[in-house]
Structure 1
């Protein structure tokens, strides 16, 4: 088996949460098998989820804040703030990206949403003409783990919340697949706060096994045909929106 670098992005404020337990189980399994593991525990890091001018060193336009324009400049010049640059280095090094989060109001916590917005920036994670099947992270792997309060029945076709695949579509399709990641089926620990201890133990073992399966899949090398420095000083979309 080839050695992989795996990045967990953990978004749960409680150190004793089941999300933390999932990451611990996955990390131990992967490291035991010889893989390299990094964990970005966003709450422990005190990661700021709020985008703004503080994301950048300098400015493309001091008079008008257009986020993607500033991201394009920062990608060209290496002018992201230190916290963003540190996370981007982790993402760039990772063969497999593993967001782990509780489902809150039908989506990830604001902490993780802010991480996506600030870290997976234009010029770093995507550029015009390179999305989905041609995305910059094409060939890299991703799988996300979610804990829910609801049971499987509530996330069924006839359930009150609808199929879990539909609930998670924005994270999967409009987030990870948008950047070119090949995304494995989400791991869902249903009703994690309410199930019996033996069920939680099964969840942990199953998640570790899922990660080992993903780690055994082929991973494409980093793309070398597109580089942020190739971006022009301004794209057409920067004049609107």
Structure 2
């Protein structure tokens, strides 16, 4: 899609890993479709998501830095640490409407290990804080994550297949429907404690499943809600 800009944030330190191959495949596929591709390598920037003594000035910790960390990993703000302090440059283009984001990552485990009875726990629960608490909170439409399971334990031809399918998906990525989250207008404001409005909760109570992983209302979690959009869920 001509005229589109993509920001690829590399958050894995091993550039020889399959994650790097996924990044390269994404960049090539998007460029072929006419996208402008920007790359942000957090490790090359020496970015550390863990607050350290170097980030403390005087007798207090700047809450502003915490927001900078949040935005740095979503591509809205680029953070570079210099000897004389922190330099911040904003990517204002990512405040434009219709910005979309997706997580692409590999695992060392098979899908069964991140099922609702698996050792690592339900992948939907694992993804909720990142996809809702970071991406959705920052105003992104969140697309289905690209999860490559157990890549170190599958044949080379299977890994090649993953890369080809990833490139094919990217050819029409802008037309994909996002994962659904409850809109902020469904919640009360400060005086109401930021909980679901009574009328909204009453409407949602008729469903067999919870509306979301987070706002579950004590019901069974919606199947695949963080790995599939409503249009592709079974």
TM-score using structure 2 length: 0.60
1:169 partnered with 2:124? no
**Structure with the larger RCO, 1 or 2 (CA within 8 Å, 6+ apart):** 1
* Residue number among 61, 65, 69 corresponding to 1:65 in the alignment: 61
1:30 CA drift (Å)? 0.4
Q: Give 2:4's aligned residue.
A: 4
- Change over 3 Å in CA distance of 1:82–1:196 after alignment to 2: closer
1:22 CA drift (Å)? 0.2
Following superposition of structure 1 onto structure 2, how do residues 73-222 of structure 1 map, counting pairs within 5 Å? 83=81, 88-89=90-91, 92-94=92-94, 139-216=98-175
Q: RMSD of aligned C-alpha atoms?
A: 3.1
Q: Return the structure number with greater helix share.
A: 1
Q: Return the structure number with greater strand share.
A: 2
C-alpha separation in 2, matches of 1:187 and 1:7: 16
Structure 2 unaligned blocks of 5 or more = 69-77, 178-234
1:168 CA drift (Å)? 1.3
Q: Give 2:187's aligned residue.
A: none
Counterpart contact for 1:137–1:181, Cα < 8 Å: no
Q: Deviations over 1:73-106 (max 9, x none)?
A: xxxxxxx9755755632xx334xxxxxxxxxxxx
C-alpha separation in 1, matches of 2:9 and 2:66: 24
C-alpha separation in 2, matches of 1:65 and 1:25: 40
Q: Deviations over 1:22-55 (max 9, x none)?
A: 0000000000111011111222232243446866
Indicate the SS of the match to 2:168: helix
Counterpart contact for 1:11–1:41, Cα < 8 Å: yes
C-alpha separation in 2, matches of 1:51 and 1:137: 29
Larger Rg over CA atoms? 2
